[in-house]
Each structure stands twice: as C-alpha cells, then as structure tokens.
Amino acid sequence: MAQKPAGVLIVDDEFLARRIVREFLAPHADLIILGECENGLEALERISALAPDLVFLDVQMPGINGIEVLEASGRRGGVIFTTAHDEFALRAFDFHAVDYLLKPFSRERFDAALDRARQARASAQASLGRLVAAETERLHRLLVPVRGRVEVVPVEQIDYIEAQDDYIAIHTQGRALLKNQSLADLEAQLDPQGFLRIHRSYLVNIARLKAVERTGKDTLVACLSDGTRLPISRRGHERIRAVLLAS
C-alpha cells in the first residue's frame, strides 16, 4: 500500500528562505505543505495543532530559536534544520534531526535530505505513520504562548477547557490561558479516559468532576472540585453516565 503524502511545515524568519524551501519542495508530489511560520512561538502552535510529518526548521530566530522549539515541544525526529550557522549541528542531532542543511544549500543537497527523511518515515511504525519516533498518541502537556513566552501545562493540572470562538480557554490552577485551537481538535488529542465532553463548549478533567446536579426538569450542571459549575448537555449527560457505569 502506498504511503499517504507527508505533511510539511516550514519555519524560518526570512521570507526568501521560506520561498526557497517551498520552491525546492514543489517537484515532490509525495509531500504536502501544511503551512509556514516565521517565528518560534508560531512554530510551537503549529507543531502541536498540525502534527507535521516533517519540519524544515531554522535555528536562529527572534525570541525562541529552533533548538528551544524542539525542547519546548518535546518533538524528536522528523526535523531538517536549515541554517547559516554550523555550530548547532551536534545539538541538533541530539534531537534526532534527519539532516542539517547549511545555507545556501543546493537543490541536490536538499533532495538528499528529503531522501533521508523518506527512509526515516518508511522505517517508522505503520500504526503511527509519522517521523516522530518518540511522540505518544495522547498529549501529556499543552504548550501555550503567553506574552512572548511559552507555558507548559501538564494535562493533569487542567480543570476544564472552554471553547471561545476560534480559541480555547484552558482553566488551570485558578487561571485561564487562551490558545488558538478548536475544542474538537484538542479533544481528539487528549485521553478520553481523562477528559470528557460534557457540552459543546466544555471539556472537563474527569478527576475534577465532584457531582452532577439537576437544576431544572431538563437542566443539569457539573460541579467541579474547585466550585465551578458548568452546563451539561443531553449528550454530555449520556457520556457522564457511561463513565460512571464503567467505573
């Protein structure tokens, strides 16, 4: 069976550098460009949201550099560095980088790096279908940009997550952190044994669910351990009942 096209993310603070990578990728029909990022914070969000098979990653960028992107995201493998600086090469391969392209690089050198990436992808487990050898199927932490830095939030510290237009509000330890992601997308990445969709706008950490109260004939609310009260939809009530019956 033929492999599905690999998703590619391009990260570089220079427009021309991104355009060259895009141009060199054009002849390769087995690769699909998922997007471009011009800084490390944006790269963290896109890596988390898109789970690209391959990332072309610059090292020297304003704010968060490429090495720090990998450290914060926990990503290992599936990365080709593109940089004008060779002093980071050894550090890059600590993160199982596929290759390290020094700018300016030729199309031939670029294609050789892609061949290495294809070989790595082909040898990865078929069930994962990704280049990231150390990624787990479920999220254990969220990366949230906050005022020019990135906060790492362990999922077990989350009380509940609320949909707010194109954002989600992650409620944890008395704070609400905004992240540009859909609730449905995050729900698919979290362990269903740990988080429950109780309403179209609310995803709750089951460990924080203290009680379910009926406030009207057809109205239910979830009472969390910190005193928060959240509405429960009919479908949400069915999910809660299924969890309670299984426990």
Instruction: Determine the average pLDDT of the residues in 69-78.
Output: 83
Can you give the CATH number for the domain in which 29 is found?
3.40.50.2300
pLDDT at 137 exceeding the cut of 60: no
pLDDT at 247: 61
**Does residue 158 sit within a domain?**
yes
Domain membership of residue 69 (yes or no) is yes
Sheet holding 158-164, edge to edge: 175-179, 167-172, 158-164, 202-205, 195-199
pLDDT of residue 16: 96
Task: Check residues 57 and 188 and name the one with the higher pLDDT.
Answer: 57
> Do 145 and 238 belong together in one domain?
yes
Mean pLDDT of 46-74: 89
Structural domain containing residue 181:
141-246
pLDDT over 90 at 242, yes or no: no
pTM here? 0.56
Whether 101 shows a pLDDT value over 50: the answer reads yes
Per the domain annotation, does 104 fall within a domain? Answer: yes
Q: Which of 90, 91, 95, 15 is nearest to 47 (CA)?
A: 95
Q: Are 181 and 77 contained in the same domain?
A: no
Q: Say which CATH number the domain at 231 has.
A: 2.40.50.1020
Q: What span, in angstroms and rounded, lies between the C-alpha atoms of 118 and 216?
A: 58
119 and 154 share one domain: no
What pLDDT, in 10s, does the model give residues 142-198? 888 887 778 889 999 999 999 998 899 999 999 999 998 899 988 988 888 899 999
Residue 131 lies in a domain: no
**Is 195 contained in some domain?**
yes
Give the length of the chain.
Answer: 247
